[in-house]
Amino acid sequence: MSSFQQIIEDSKPVLIDFFAEWCGPCKMMPPILNQLKANMGSSLRILKIDVDKNPDVASKYQVRGVPTLLLMRSGKILWKQSGVLQAGELQQVIEHHLKVKA
């Protein structure tokens, strides 16, 4: 668990995708996240967390539904939203929050 803590406390922004294997909309996220990664490169880290395998983490961040996306930097939550977003929308949201908080 310490590696998760180190990742979220890093100054590099982290997008966390809380998902579940049984969740239909969650299955739409991998290609979207791959596109986002291709667009943003090394400026963003992306983590996927299975809420069924990591209930403590999901509970800590008050994840009530899946998929839930959480943007963090230096241990702080910059943005959180449930549901599927397209790569372009997601990139705009992330860039906006990084400009505001940078």
Identify the active-site residue in 7, 23, 28, 98: 23
- Is 33 catalytic? The answer is no
Identify the active-site residue in 14, 26, 40, 90: 26
- Is 24 catalytic? The answer is no
3-state secondary structure of 55: helix
Report the candidate in 71, 66, 60, 67 with the shortest Cα–Cα distance to residue 98: 71
Terminal alpha carbon distance of the chain: 27
Q: Which two tokens stand for residue 32?
A: 């979207």
Residues annotated as catalytic are 23, 26
